[in-house]
């Protein structure tokens, strides 16, 4: 989706009266002006981040070498874009194996004690993958790629936002909630921005009900069939 597609939706879609700043909406040339782009771009970035936190749309990968005697590991992705650890892989029976995570009473499982921290089991008899695994492959939910503001402001018609168009509605509603939240508004106070944020949440829930995100059940099913999990 091009950045200009988003500007067009804000200009001519359902929320057009919020963003035209007095421009006529009856002429084909009407729309958000280039002078408004710098004011809108921070809210666009926050909206993209909020959607990428709520949906698994961008997969990041990190490799964690294991050190003898160490059970706690903190991830440090190069792009500092980690939202949530989704899956962890090691080796078992000479094959890559998805290690169970946060399964209470499962001695093979890794504990994910914070957003970026993993705690490994210690008993190699109960967790035999420890004997073969020298490094972990971690798959995590990542942020939208960082926007190059200079290029985005200069060429919105060619600048690519890495977001499927079905997420346009919640993104527009989130931007509207930011634009209509008064400066200094206390959390929970009544203002128009809250109405748009509630609509944003409803739009997110509708997309979740339709399962619009990466589906990652194949590996788990394959190893379950082999009796590994």
Specify whether the CB–CB gap between 128 and 228 falls below 8 A.
no
Task: Tell me the C-alpha distance between 126 and 61, whole Å.
Answer: 27
Domain boundary assignment for the chain:
3-55+161-183+190-209, 59-142
Specify whether the CB–CB gap between 84 and 143 falls below 8 A.
no
Among 12-26, 169-183, 189-203, whose mean pLDDT is lowest?
A: 12-26
Rg (alpha carbons) of the chain, rounded to whole number? 22
Residue 35, Cα to own-chain centre: how many angstroms?
29
pTM recorded for the entire structure: 0.82
Task: Tell me the C-alpha distance between 162 and 139, whole Å.
Answer: 19
Predicted confidence band of residue 20 (pLDDT cuts 50, 70, 90): low
Encoded tokens for 86: 């989704």
Phi, psi of 82 (to 5 degrees): -75, 125
The 10s digit of each residue's pLDDT in 51-88 is: 999 999 999 999 999 999 999 999 988 777 999 999 99
């Amino acid at each position: 989706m091009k950045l200009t597609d988003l500007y067009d939706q804000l200009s001519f879609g359902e929320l057009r009266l919020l963003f035209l700043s007095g421009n006529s909406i009856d002429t084909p040339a009407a729309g958000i002006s280039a002078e408004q782009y710098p004011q809108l771009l921070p809210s666009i970035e926050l909206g993209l981040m909020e959607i990428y936190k709520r949906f698994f749309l961008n997969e990041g990968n990190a490799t964690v070498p294991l050190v003898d005697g160490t059970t706690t590991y903190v991830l440090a992705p190069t792009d500092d874009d980690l939202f949530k650890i989704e899956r962890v892989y090691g080796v078992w029976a000479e094959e890559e194996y998805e290690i169970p995570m946060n399964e209470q009473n499962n001695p093979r499982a890794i504990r994910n004690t914070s957003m970026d921290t993993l705690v490994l089991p210690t008993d190699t008899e109960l967790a035999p993958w420890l004997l073969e695994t020298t490094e972990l492959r971690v798959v995590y939910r990542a942020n939208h790629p960082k926007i190059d503001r200079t290029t985005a402001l200069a060429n919105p018609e060619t600048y690519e936002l890495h977001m499927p168009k079905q997420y346009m509605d919640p993104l527009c509603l989130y931007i509207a909630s930011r634009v209509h939240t008064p400066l200094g508004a206390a959390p929970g106070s009544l203002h128009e921005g809250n109405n748009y944020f509630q609509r944003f949440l409803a739009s997110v829930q509708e997309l979740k009900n339709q399962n619009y995100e990466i589906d990652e059940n194949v590996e788990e099913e394959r190893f379950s069939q082999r009796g590994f999990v």
